[in-house]
Amino acid sequence: MLMAGRMNTARTVAIALIGLVASAAPALAEEGPITHTDQLIVVTPNAPVVINNGPGTQAPGSVAQPAGPATTTNGAPQNEPWSEVSHINGTLVKVGEKSDYVLRYRKTNISTNPIGWMFGIYGVSVSHAVSQHVAIRGDANIVNFEGAEGYEIGASLPIYFRRVYSGPFIEPGFIMRGSKSSWCDSSYDDCGTETMAGPEMLFGWHWSFDSGLNVAFALGAARNLNQEMDESGYSSSEDVTPAGYFRIGYAF
């Protein structure tokens, strides 16, 4: 009797396990294979929220959003129109700094030293880019400062390390200056014009903004090839003189 009871119990357990497996098989067949995704789906009482953890992912069965900066991509509400936000292809950039990322550059730049105009130094400089890194520049200045009258003209070839009108540059060129005293005394031969001409080499930095406005400064030295000797055989001027400029301009 004991042996027959144990066999009946084992038979009952086996039949229950077979029924359980048979009932679960259709559900497993319908689910299909499990695949890995970078999306996390949060189920809420409302519509499900899809959080993309990786680039290029999209919720299964969802409708693709149109390309372009017209929609937000991080799920945050859009509270400013894209036309009022500084961006490049939907990526935010600081106001005035788009030119740091765009290869296109402005060709011509006209500049002057507005501070010099307050002290009697009137000049203008014109630069034109011939490539992405090289420009040609010419400038002319008239000086009427503290009893001295004169002029300065120059031509140079600014070479930019990054891009024209942006960043560091070196500037080889040629400069010519002439000056004389406003209070000359003909009896002492003080009315002559002293001239200086020779090569110059400058090193400077240029800042450009999206509006086309830009600021540049450069410092260096120029060598005087027009030496005049006095009666004792000494030069009346320095062999090497400082050179440089500060200018604010507009490029177009």
Tokens 């200018």 appear where?
247
**Residue 101 and residue 88 in contact, taking contact as beta carbons nearer than 8 Å:** yes
pTM for the model: 0.61
Rounded CA gap, 201 and 221, in Å?
6
Name the most confidently modeled range: 34-38, 63-67, 160-164: 160-164
Cα–Cα distance, 162 to 234 (Å, whole number): 44
Question: Is the model more confident about 99 or about 203?
Answer: 203
Smallest Cα–Cα separation from 247: which of 147, 163, 137, 160? 137
Answer whether 198's CB lies under 8 Å from 241's CB. Answer: no
Q: Which residue has the tokens 């501070």?
A: 115
Asked if pLDDT for residue 162 goes beyond 90, the answer is: yes
Q: Report the range out of 77-81, 104-108, 178-182, 200-204 with the highest average pLDDT.
A: 200-204
For residue 218, pLDDT beyond 60: yes
Q: Give the Cβ contact number of residue 3 at 10 Å.
A: 7
pLDDT score at 173? 98
Tokens of 113: 């030293």
Domains in the chain and their CATH numbers?
108-251 (2.40.160.20)
- In the three-class reduction of DSSP (H, G, I as helix; E, B as strand; rest coil), residue 228 is classed as coil
Output the DSSP codes for 115-144: HHHTTTEEEEEEEEESSSSBEEEEEEEEEE
Report the pLDDT value the prediction gives residue 58, as an integer from 0 to 100: 45
CB 152 within 8 A of CB 143: yes
- DSSP class of residue 69 equals T
